[in-house]
Structure 1
Amino acid sequence: MSQDKELKKAIALQYDQEKNQAPVVTAKGQGYIAEEILNRAKAADVPIQEDKSLVEMLAQLNINDRIPEELYQAVAEVFAYIYQIDLEQKKIIKK
């Protein structure tokens, strides 16, 4: 039996302006590992952004690699999305 369903992939990034010049890959995986990364992110209330093409590009990196300069714009958009979600959640909590 062939598998038509593509394995799910996930990449976790972290950015600390004081420690790193660029975001760093902190976890990556596919299938069960990807599901576990997503489950842990959800459990920790870490926002998740789905972008299949970005995941494919980031999957070429190793854990602890900084993202390359050519991906700065795409990753900046993800972090802007996450920042916006954080702001919205803080507004809800303050109400």
Structure 2
Amino acid sequence: MSRQHRRSAAALVYDAQSSDPAPRVVAKGYGLLAEMIVQRAKEAGLYVHEAPEMVSLLMQVDLDARIPPQLYQAVAELLAWLHRLESGAEEEPVHGADIVAQDVTDVVATEVAGGPPAR
């Protein structure tokens, strides 16, 4: 089965209070590994954000590396949406997506080729 037909997932961490200037990719994988990332995120009470384009871009970032400046805007939009969601200001995800996060510091994006959004 090709990567295009397998689930993929990437997890980000960002702490605005730290000296780290940008979110970092802390987990990523395809197939069973992606399913495990999503399962652990859900078990931890995180939201799972389905964003195929974002996952595709994040899969190109090295593990434990900061996201490149080219992704700042897209990731900032996801973090802003998450902040609104957690504060109760928004019920539905922006751009038809579901995000995973404990707070604005932890995010998991996932893609399920041809499948329904994760809940």
TM class, shorter-length? 0.7 to 0.9
Structure (1 or 2) with the greater strand fraction: 2
Aligned to 1:85: 85
Deviation of the 1:29 alpha carbon: 0.4
In terms of Rg, which structure is larger? 1
Query: Whole-Å Cα distance in 1 between the matches of residues 75 and 44 of structure 2?
Result: 21
- Which aligned segments of 4 or more residues in structure 1 are displaced greater than 3 angstroms? none
Question: SS at 2:50's partner residue?
Answer: coil
Deviation per residue, 1:53-90 (Å, 9 max, x gap): 111011011111100001001111111122122112xx
How many angstroms does 1:52 deviate by?
0.3
Whether 1:12 aligns to 2:11 is: yes
Range with bigger deviation, 68-77 or 79-88: 79-88
Partners of 2:48 and 2:80 in 1: how far apart?
12
Aligned-partner Cα distance in 2 for 1:14–1:56: 17
Flag the structure with higher helix content. Answer: 1
Paired positions, count: 87
Name the % identity.
40
5+ residue gaps, structure 1: 89-95
Deviation at 1:49, TM superposition (A): 1.1
Root-mean-square deviation (Å): 1.8
Could you tell me which residue of structure 2 aligns to residue 91 of structure 1?
none
Give, in whole Å, the separation in 1 of the partners of 2:85 and 2:50: 14
Q: 1:29 aligns to what?
A: 29
Alignment-derived partner of residue 55 in structure 1: 55
CA distance in 2, matches of 1:75, 1:65: 14
Residue segments in structure 2 that go unaligned for 5+ positions in a row: 89-119
Q: Displacement of 1:50 after TM fit?
A: 1.0
